[in-house]
Chain A
């Protein structure tokens, strides 16, 4: 349960970065390690002021590699921990994001996306790290990533990210963007007693019987903390249930299959989407984050013109709502996917549509948000070119 000082109950007129920091605090975060980077710096600044007030520790590390490592260490030290960054820092964090996946360490990483590649557009928006979020560290694994579309959701989804990280023992990504991070809107912070928090799943057996990587029924192990006498061994090497390194194909299959399955098999419990006007839709606009807000006004314009257009907003990006897209692909002729990149999530939609419906990506190189008029014109194109009953020939179109 959150304490009073950690939760600034009331209405605030603040930006998304502020809300991410306050969401973390409301979730019980007591440790933040970070490195300055536009447009995520405000999260670190807010944390540096607020953490000492709530009995926590803020540290500005020497780089993002160290920041990611420090939050993993803090998590094993018994603290809920968090960092934030943007593109170039996200790249540096990927190494130890992988360590967090392999060692099943709960923590939260906020990426306030800007335009890339490389230094790109430090002060301007992008959504082109969506696939890096999915596959940015080497090896095979599943991730959980959420995409807020407003300062309110920055607050709410950061809390949810902490809850998911404790539920599944995994670092969770909050994939914000520069516009959401710097946008100022009303944020309502509930009372502490109205905030649902998932506690760490502590060992249910004494140290001599405890195995830190022995999964329970839902494939997630319980977690001990350093200093409790469990003498846990934690390694980035492939390991057995005891945590000991075992470098064999069998141990690899056992471990990595479980790391993947603990998310895949729990996907229905994790995934959240927002759906509007899907019942009669011929075309569905699929979007997320700031692009979902542009898309929504385009959908409203299209419906005012009498087009049967639905709206599907991805709140959870990873794991991807494959089942839902597959179902919808049987009913509609096309998906229109506006995002500030060249079709990263559109390709996922296309994959799930499986040739039953066309996917039209509304692309943008970054630096600004989509214009609703452009999204509307692509919706109109999708309405005009209805596919027949069979499989579509051109399954992905970039616009």
Chain B
């Protein structure tokens, strides 16, 4: 038994060292933050897939979650605020062999970057988007965002948020994502499975990972530690596989619906492109290296 645990520890360290830039640690995230958990589950998924490590590329925007790109030992691109998806679009189209995923936060992907998100989903661009939703702008000190639940307090909604939040899964599904799932950082195995399912699909996939931000969200809204919020996730999460994305809006105090909501097929951007080339009698586009 002892030997088994020891082996597991060694495997764990090997996996982490394989996928993290160890020379960049310690990371910048606060105690109790869920981004590390989301990253950990993602790394487990990458490690367990039969894809060479150099084929992965990660793109992020700006914010706490976007710092993930700087810790992953992959070709990693930490771009401008909200712009990870168009950058990733160019990267993927220039080198279709790459498995390009976007790892960024809710404010980055859905407020300043919202337009890029819906268009990449509409195109069914072959990008795997993982969004850590902590309901707030963490890096700038806790301002209200497009995902902040109504009535929640933030540094720029001191009397409570008087706007409704986006239902990100509904937005993704409506814009055309072929895979949509939501989990919390309590659901580490489910995150891993969803990431693997997303990479197995062609086209635009979206995984929302609800995460605690005890420092600037929890502290103002009754969850002073990361553990408090994890307990909330554990007690209130309700797995509703295949739920209609319209019905999975988030209200603090209510049930938090999680699960895989969309898993369908439609031609990806690359599929349509290949079809066009075929119709034109042109050979498959091969972008050669800048020569």
Contact = CB atoms under 8 A, between A and B. Distances in A.
A77 B92 contact: yes
A234 B93 contact: no
A78 interface: yes
A341 interface: no
A74 B92 CA distance: 7
Interface string B260-291: 00000000000001001100101101111111
Contact of B75 (A30, A65, A232): A232
Interface in A59-118: 59, 61-63, 65-67, 69-81, 95-96, 98-99, 106
Contact of B76 (A31, A33, A72, A232): A232
Nearest to B282: A52
B252 interface: no
Contacts of B55: 227
A74 B90 contact: yes
A18 B102 CA distance: 35
B90 A99 contact: no
Given A66-B83, A77-B93, A30 B287 contact: yes
Interface string B103-147: 000000000000110010000000000000000000000000000
B77 interface: yes
Contact of B54 (A1, A66, A80, A227): A227
A122 to B, nearest CB: 22
B89 interface: yes
B287 A233 contact: no
A78 B287 CA distance: 8
Nearest to B62: A236
B94 A30 contact: yes
A158 B161 CA distance: 51
Given A61-B119, A200-B291, A234-B77, A69 B285 contact: no
A227 B97 contact: yes
A388 B76 CA distance: 61
B219 interface: no
B91 A74 contact: yes
Contact of A31 (B74, B75, B88, B287): B287
Contact of A55 (B23, B73, B95, B283): B283
Interface string B68-86: 0110011111111001011
A132 interface: no
Contacts of B88: 73
* Residue of A56, A73, A79, A199 with highest tally of chain B CB at under 10 A: A73
A197 interface: yes
B93 A61 contact: no
A139 to B, nearest CB: 12
Nearest to A72: B87
Contacts, number: 180
Contacts of A231: 21, 54, 73-76
B90 A72 contact: yes
B57 interface: yes
Contacts of A1: 291
B16 to A, nearest CB: 15
Contact of B291 (A99, A199, A235, A245): A199
A382 B77 CA distance: 54
A229 interface: yes
A73 B290 contact: no
A234 B78 contact: yes
B291 A70 contact: no
Contacts of A233: 21, 69-70, 76-78
Interface string A1-38: 10000000000000000000000000010110100000
B94 A78 contact: yes
Nearest to A200: B290
Contacts of A96: 79-80, 83
A386 B141 CA distance: 62
Given A55-B285, A227-B95, A62 B115 contact: yes
A230 B90 CA distance: 19
Contacts of B91: 73-74, 76-77, 226
A30 B291 CA distance: 11
A383 B70 CA distance: 61
7 contacts: A31-B287, A62-B115, A62-B116, A70-B90, A227-B95, A232-B75, A244-B24
Interface of A: 1, 28, 30-31, 33, 52-53, 55-57, 59, 61-63, 65-67, 69-81, 95-96, 98-99, 106, 166, 197, 199-200, 225-237, 244-245
Given A62-B119, A231-B74, A236-B80, 11 more contacts: A28-B290, A31-B93, A55-B286, A66-B116, A76-B75, A78-B289, A166-B290, A227-B97, A232-B75, A236-B78, A236-B79
Across chains A and B, which 9 residue pairs bring their CB atoms closest together, nearest first?
A77-B94, A73-B90, A70-B90, A66-B86, A74-B90, A73-B91, A69-B86, A79-B94, A235-B78
